[in-house]
Amino acid sequence: MEEHEKHIQALIKLHLGMERQGPGDTNYSNYILSLIKELPANPRIADMGCGAGAGTILLSDRFKSKVRAVDFSREFLNELINRAKQRGLEHLVEEIESNMGSLDWKPETIDLLWSEGAAYNLTFAGALKAWRPLMAANGIAVISEMNYFTSEVPESVQVYWQNAYPTISSESENSNHANSSGFEVLGIHRLPSKA
């Protein structure tokens, strides 16, 4: 097994059984969803990098619409399906074991794209490029991404992130990435520290 695969398997093992595999908070997610006013009655929803499905469960329950839940990990998808069954929502979840950066979906087939802390796997700019063609004309994307909040980043922090995530950017740089990828930035909201 190559080193990268060992690393991925270790991360999966570390996160199995957890509600979330990254940053997020149900109350804050509900707040963000309350700001969205422009979705059709039965929105076509995708949760990119869904993990064990905290977002998928929230979205399927809130909108009573099918959610295409995409993750590379069969283990996480199995947890998602079990949680959906416990909530009586399994009929609203379409599990898709795939690389979220190379989906062969028809263009303009997503009304709401949701991704909590997973875009970095493709780089933020890479995720935007891969996902933009999938968005419906009036579609909404909610994507959380790590950002620097200041231009005065301590050197030790820069060194760490240069190794961990070399493409980490500031909020304004990521906003520019979104705009140059064909998205219109409607808002930027920082996750609360508890998330």
Domain of residue 167, CATH code: 3.40.50.150
> What digits encode the pLDDT tens for the residues 118-162?
999 999 999 999 999 999 999 999 999 999 999 899 999 999 999
| Band (22; pLDDT cuts 50, 70, 90) | confident
CA angle at residue 78 from 164 to 104, to 5 degrees?
70
Any domain includes 121: yes
> What digits encode the pLDDT tens for the residues 85-106?
999 999 999 999 999 999 999 9
What's the rounded Cα separation, in Å, for the pair 100 and 102? 6
Any domain includes 30: no
Q: Residue 99 sits in which domain range?
A: 43-180
pTM score, two decimals?
0.91
Extended beta strands in the chain, E state: 45-48, 67-71, 93-97, 110-115, 135-143, 147-148, 169-170
Any domain includes 31: no
